[in-house]
Chain A
Amino acid sequence: MREVAIVGLGQTPVREHWESNLRDLAVTALRDAMEDAGVDTVDGVCVGNMLSGALSEQEHLGSLIVDYAGLDGVEGMKIEAACGSGAAAIRMAVKAVSSGLMDAVGVVGVEKLTEYSGKYSTAALATAADADYETTMGLSFVGINALLMRRYLYEYKLQKEDFSIFPVNAHKNAVHNPNAMFRHAITNEQYAKSKLIADPINLLDSSPIADGAAAVIVVAKENISRYKGKAVDILACEVGTDTLAIDNREDPLWLRGVERSAKKAYYVSGLSPKDINIFEAHDAFSIITALSLEASGFTEKGNAIKFAERANIGINGTFPMNTSGGLKGRGHPVGATGVYQVVEAAQQLRGTVASPIQVENNKIAMAQNIGGSGATVITTILKQI
């Protein structure tokens, strides 16, 4: 098996892109990444996307994007794993390159969630859950996370306000990310007064519906001198799975998909949680950030908030998290999110983000992309070269 690296990065701003369609967003990010890498073609394209069929009446994204990107005849396919689609597409590219089947693979995560009004997007997003037994009961995707948060508050005797540490940090960092959707800070008081979406989850616990595309070029590490872009090592990109429905999990507050994915990633990279300098968590909802910190081994069960307070998750803290704003601040174009996370982590290691959010002395970054409420989890560990 060959070692793999990223040599090109591309991303569109995360916005309500009413003026752009799905293919133009994808092509912009992909061609930007190819330009960064200094390549005019690739051996294959992996497209991460969840809802093009449901919300844009468009499937068959692989060949569509390959064609519009000017890559006539190149192999391209869509990879779908709900909100984990983006990193799942990176995983497929890593497999293709490390096996020796391909030398350079373009990965583009793209999502367009604003074609319809919110309630349709809400219904479409709920297809990440069990259609026969969760969503047809009227459970929204936010509702599933609310069930987890309520139980977490109950078991660990916490106040809802304790969770504000995560969105407040995400928004603070997003201010300095030009591609972020919300470039404004929020306060604990605003969090406390925020509108309920599914009790106890409020608006400021929830990442926003958005459009966007992000791309990376994955190549064999032995060939990085052929490319223009500054290379970043992919030490691990590992998948863990769990039941789709949270009611089928023995302990819903322990995300086994996260544990499996993170443990594999630590094993493959030869690292442990204490080696990670930056963590890009999947903060689709504040509760998921907490459960992810615990099952990834950064802290023990039930201790995520205390850990975040003690470690200091800010840029100058000992454990900087969601340095470009995370899903909460940057926005959550679901099938693109996993690629945005890896692009942002790679930018951190290249040292190219805006100075207020550039973490000094960072060599190792971890990004974790979570599909559904933890049924597909992809943990990627990157290293500075």
Chain B
Amino acid sequence: MDIPRYWRLKNQRYRLQGKKCLDCGNLSFPPRLVCRKCKSRNCEPYEFKGMGTLYSYTTIFQAPDRFDQMAPYMVGLIDLEEGVRITAQLTDVLPDDVQIGMKLEMVIRQIYEDGPKGPILYGYKFRPVLKF
């Protein structure tokens, strides 16, 4: 059970917190200690809005053991509005309704349950933008 990892990553999992380089303005997610563009270490936390479009997706039928009970489920690559791409599960949508280029928004969902007595771990997933 990787409780320390989930605790450590809470700002990423719940708030999409990455980094902004104070020297060149480059944004990164996941957060990095060294700016990929200008190699500066002068970076501060930056929260992404969680809005994006779908770059690619897959439905996983054979899953790693921890996710075995949840299969099949969908995972996508999402291009965030701020120009950064991230990996996340897709939720609240059926495989036939998913298309590359569709608009998505971040939501907090259960990532997995560590057995009947273990903790439930939460984090970001993406769903189609709700229309009102």
Contact = CB atoms under 8 A, between A and B. Distances in A.
A126 B87 contact: no
A194 to B, nearest CB: 12
B62 A133 contact: no
B25 interface: no
Contacts of A135: 64
Contacts of A138: 60, 63-64, 66-67, 70, 73, 75, 89, 111-112
Nearest to B78: A247
Contacts of B9: 132
A140 B63 contact: yes
Contacts of A246: 77, 87
Most buried by B among A126, A135, A146: A146
Interface string B48-69: 0000000111111111111110
Interface residues of A, number: 36
Interface string A252-274: 10000000000000000000000
Contact of B56 (A119, A136, A148, A197): A148
B58 A123 contact: no
A293 B69 CA distance: 37
Interface in B18-72: 30, 55-68, 70
Nearest to A148: B56
Given A133-B30, A133-B87, A151-B56, A123 B100 contact: no
Contacts of A147: 56-58, 75-77
B59 A137 contact: no
A251 B88 CA distance: 18
Contact of B30 (A132, A140, A148): A132
A137 B64 contact: no
Contacts of B86: 133, 247
Contacts of A126: 64
Contacts of B87: 133-134, 137, 139, 245-247
A321 to B, nearest CB: 26
Interface in A179-202: 195-201
B97 to A, nearest CB: 14
A142 interface: yes
Interface string B65-107: 1111010010111000000011111000001000010000000
Interface residues of B, number: 34
A139 B75 contact: yes
A154 interface: yes
A123 B62 contact: no
Q: Which of B55, B70, B87 has the largest number of chain A CB atoms within 10 A?
A: B87
Residue among A120, A139, A150, A245 with the highest chain B CB neighbour number at 10 A: A139
B69 to A, nearest CB: 10
Interface centre among A142, A143, A146, A248 (most CB of B within 10 A): A143
Contacts of B75: 137-139, 143, 147
A126 B67 CA distance: 12
A252 B77 contact: yes
B65 A120 contact: yes
Contact of B60 (A118, A123, A198): A198
A197 B100 contact: no
Contacts of B66: 123, 138
A318 interface: no
Given A126-B64, A134-B87, A199-B58, A154 B73 contact: no
Given A147-B76, A248-B85, 8 more contacts: A123-B65, A133-B86, A142-B62, A147-B57, A154-B56, A199-B59, A247-B85, A252-B56
Interface of B: 2, 5, 9, 12, 30, 55-68, 70, 73, 75-77, 85-89, 95, 100, 111-112, 123
Q: Which 7 A-B pairs have the closest CB atoms?
A: A146-B58, A123-B64, A151-B56, A119-B65, A199-B59, A138-B67, A247-B85
22 contacts: A133-B86, A137-B87, A138-B60, A138-B70, A138-B73, A138-B89, A138-B111, A138-B112, A140-B60, A143-B58, A143-B60, A147-B75, A150-B58, A196-B59, A198-B58, A198-B60, A198-B62, A199-B59, A200-B58, A246-B87, A247-B85, A252-B55
